[in-house]
Amino acid sequence: MLWRFQWGRNGVNVGFLSRTVGFLSPPDALLPSAAGSASFLQMRLSAGLGFLLVVACTERAPAPGAADIGGTVVVSATGYPESLFPPFVVSLEGKEITEQIYDYLADVGADLNTADEKGYRLGLADRWRWMGDSLELAFHINPLAKWHDGRDVTARDVQFTFALNKNPALGGRLGTELANIDSVTVTDSLTAVFWFHQRLPTQFLDAAAQMLILPAHQLEKIPVSALRENLPPPIGTGRFRLRKLDPGASVEIVADTSNFRGRPKLNRVIWTVSPDYTAAVIKLFGGDADVFDGLHPEDLSKVASHPNIRSIPLSGMAYAFLRFNLSDPANKSRPHRLFADRDLRRAITMSLNRATLVRSVFDTFALVPVGPIVRAYAVTDPRGGQLPFDSVGASQLLDSLGWRRHGADGIRAKNGKPLSFSIIFPNSNRSRVRMGPLIQEQLRRMGIQVQLEPLEESTETDRESKGAFDAALGAWIMGASPDGIVGAWTTQGIGSHGVNYGSYSNPRFDTLLDSALKADPSVAREKFTKAIAVINDDAPAVWLYEPRKIVGVNRRIRTTKMRPNAWWFDLAEWYIPSTEQLPRDRIPLSR
């Protein structure tokens, strides 16, 4: 899974497979989550990240008292969620909100260890059991779980959610993650059984923590084709429920006071949207917001001068890139006039001094990526690397391709046409706004002309998804497993519902990555290194920076441990001491 760096986008749809199975398992036959297939555990370990440490620990605080229950947390955001229907969510804001409204069967714990089932946080499931040589996994639904409209949660909801996400007509984002699950069957009202095509390290992760479970009773009578046009209001099982949408401006969720997992400590959380970075960060420092998750290194001096704000750095799970479009923006069936040429892409990559770019924008708070992957994964070889900066070699390669300098401006041309292209990027992302002119200048020195097109976020997203661009500054937040690479950079990700918007395709990379994702832990890093080397040599993008995330939080808020790829992971357990509450914290829940 990966998310757009405002954020998100994910896999491709595959057809729904089903089969009839004769498996019966009464609820009392299921084991607690600590149990499982010990014989298969070693293989599943290869999916994990190991235990990642949050760079800055959250403050230890005493448990909240009855008077501390309540309060309002305002989150400052630079983007508005394009949807709150989980299969359609592609932005970071959408993920933050939907994960409060809906539940997974079980979720990856705060340490981001995807391999150890014992570390998962219980969601709708209260226990599970492996069967059938680890090709069957039965989840038992907590009998206390209810939808926000009061209806009981059943195993049928799990089965429906799986079928909907696998339905090509929906055009959802979980095709890659669900590809190894053949079907989900129901053995009784509270038992859902997942049937896998083959044993893989990511089996438990894919079944338990990829799909937010949806209400069958609300959605199953709506034609799938209609869901994109006319979505009903969200009905979830999460510890918060949706209260108010102000399109383009804000989203408000409020506590589900009778939730089966307990009432949230907060009364409400509000996401307030600003048109650009500067306005968003001003809300944090001015006291109009309590959380902003996109602080930059240069903001830390402001944090020091605002004693009511603290910064929490988290391990980096994101990487940014300059993506080349290998297809003609006007006709995707034709090759791009420039970037279909592998050698030209390599020359442009070699023309960019990525280390200088990173230092200029992030100082020491980011690294140059080794490829379309982050160092947090155990399978990433930090010694690996992309094509090196080599201006001399790049100049020679450009000359050999017929792109030679002409005229007083020194811009290269071939057959009378200048070596010129445009780069689109969201104007709300400060890092990319700053990096754009630096890239433009470095390439100008090499005789390459670049036009910068800063766009409103929704416009940029729309153009990129339609392939209507030459090059784009983009970024992904990686999920708990590196399988998000499949949807972003393999042939499988090309298409109307894919996320490989540059249309890069190399069957050798596809095969090597598939082998790496299925590999035993003892050889997984070696296999990933080989796959990454192939895509680096092809240069479908220039991997620019791998930043650390810095979250700014008002000190009156007592947070819990933040998961490196999801600061909002335990938001329902945050609280505000009664002695530090503001007037907005005391607004009654019923209001």
Mean pLDDT of 155-184: 92
Q: Which CATH architecture has domain 53-102+238-315+550-591?
A: 3-Layer(aba) Sandwich (3.40)
| Weakest-pLDDT range from 59-63, 434-438, 529-533 | 59-63
Greater model confidence, 458 or 259: 259
Domain with CATH 3.90.76.10 in the chain: 105-230
Pairing status of strand 121-122 against strand 240-246: unpaired
- pLDDT category at 124 given cuts 50, 70, 90 is very high
Mean pLDDT of 110-128: 91
Domain with CATH 3.10.105.10 in the chain: 318-547
* pLDDT over 50 (residue 388): yes
| Percent residues over pLDDT 90 in the chain | 69
Greater model confidence, 46 or 456: 456
- pLDDT category at 479 given cuts 50, 70, 90 is confident
- Measure the CA–CA gap between 232 and 98, rounded to whole angstroms: 14
Q: What is the pLDDT of residue 132?
A: 84
Q: Reduce the DSSP state of residue 327 to 3 states and report it.
A: strand
Q: What is the pLDDT of residue 15?
A: 24
Q: What is the pLDDT of residue 62?
A: 66
Domain with CATH 3.40.190.10 in the chain: 53-102+238-315+550-591
- pLDDT category at 458 given cuts 50, 70, 90 is confident
What are 56-98's pLDDT values in tens digits? 344 455 677 877 899 999 999 998 998 999 999 988 899 999 9
* pLDDT over 90 (residue 276): no
* pLDDT over 50 (residue 165): yes
- Measure the CA–CA gap between 493 and 483, rounded to whole angstroms: 12
- Measure the CA–CA gap between 506 and 479, rounded to whole angstroms: 23
Mean pLDDT of 20-30: 28
Q: Reduce the DSSP state of residue 33 to 3 states and report it.
A: coil
- pLDDT category at 443 given cuts 50, 70, 90 is very high
The string of DSSP letters for 402-433 reads: T-EE-STT--EEETTEE-EEEEEEETT-HHHH
CA distances (Å), origin 228, targets 83, 85, 172, 232: 10, 9, 10, 10
Mean pLDDT of 116-129: 95
Beta bridge partners of 183: 195
- pLDDT category at 158 given cuts 50, 70, 90 is very high
Q: What is the pLDDT of residue 407?
A: 84
Residue 411, φ and ψ in degrees, nearest 5: -75, 135
Give the predicted TM-score (pTM) of the model: 0.71
Instruction: Residue 53: count other Cβ atoms within 10 Å of its Cβ.
Output: 11
| Percent residues over pLDDT 70 in the chain | 89
Across 28-32, 157-161, 301-305, the highest mean pLDDT is recorded for 157-161
* pLDDT over 90 (residue 270): yes
Greater model confidence, 588 or 335: 335
Question: Which amino acid does the sequence have at 363?
Answer: D
Q: What is the pLDDT of residue 21?
A: 25
* pLDDT over 90 (residue 147): yes
- Measure the CA–CA gap between 204 and 46, rounded to whole angstroms: 12
The string of DSSP letters for 286-313 reads: HTS-SEES---GGGHHHHHT-TTEEEEE
Mean pLDDT of 311-335: 94
CA distances (Å), origin 442, targets 313, 351, 429: 30, 7, 21
| Weakest-pLDDT range from 238-242, 310-314, 339-343 | 310-314
- Measure the CA–CA gap between 297 and 302, rounded to whole angstroms: 10
The string of DSSP letters for 187-227 reads: EETTEEEEEESS--TTHHHHHHSSPPP--HHHHTTS-GGGT
Question: Which amino acid does the sequence have at 190?
Answer: L
Helices and strands in the chain, H and E counts: 16, 25
Question: Which amino acid does the sequence have at 232?
Answer: P
214-219, long-range: CB within 8 Å, 24+ apart, which pairs?
214/86, 214/102, 214/157, 214/160, 214/161, 214/164, 215/147, 215/149, 215/151, 215/157, 216/154, 216/156, 216/157, 216/159, 216/160, 216/161, 217/147, 217/151, 218/147, 218/149, 219/160, 219/164
Contact between 372 and 541 under an 8 Å Cβ cutoff? The reply is yes
| Weakest-pLDDT range from 18-27, 174-183, 378-387, 557-566 | 18-27
CATH assignment, 318-547 = 3.10.105.10
- Measure the CA–CA gap between 367 and 361, rounded to whole angstroms: 11
Contact between 549 and 92 under an 8 Å Cβ cutoff? The reply is no
Mean pLDDT of 366-379: 92
- Measure the CA–CA gap between 20 and 184, rounded to whole angstroms: 10
Across 229-238, 483-492, 529-538, the highest mean pLDDT is recorded for 529-538
- Measure the CA–CA gap between 100 and 243, rounded to whole angstroms: 12
- Measure the CA–CA gap between 4 and 95, rounded to whole angstroms: 10
Contact between 97 and 79 under an 8 Å Cβ cutoff? The reply is no
What is the CATH class of 105-230? alpha beta
* pLDDT over 80 (residue 226): yes
* pLDDT over 70 (residue 115): yes
- pLDDT category at 16 given cuts 50, 70, 90 is very low
User: Exposure of 226 by Cβ count < 10 A (0-12 exposed, 13-18 middle, 19+ buried)?
Assistant: exposed
- Measure the CA–CA gap between 352 and 345, rounded to whole angstroms: 11
CA distances (Å), origin 203, targets 15, 194, 433, 479, 578: 19, 10, 39, 15, 44
Q: In b/e form, how buried is each residue of 104-118, taking b as 16+ CB within 10 angstroms?
A: bbbbbbbbbbbbbbe
Q: What is the pLDDT of residue 61?
A: 56
- Give the position of tokens 């249309």: 503
Greater model confidence, 573 or 36: 573
Provide the token pair at 352.
């960019």
Q: Report CA 202 to chain centroid distance, whole Å.
A: 17
- pLDDT category at 11 given cuts 50, 70, 90 is very low
Greater model confidence, 393 or 16: 393
Greater model confidence, 581 or 479: 581
User: Exposure of 91 by Cβ count < 10 A (0-12 exposed, 13-18 middle, 19+ buried)?
Assistant: buried
Q: Across 104-156, where does the E strand assignment appear? A: 106-107, 121-122, 125-131, 136-141
What are 352-368's pLDDT values in tens digits? 999 999 999 988 889 99
Provide the CB-side half-sphere exposure for 306 (13 A, CA). Answer: 22
Length of the chain measured in residues: 591
Residue 65, φ and ψ in degrees, nearest 5: -90, 180
* pLDDT over 50 (residue 36): no
Average pLDDT over all residues of the chain: 87
Fill in the DSSP letter of residue 573: G
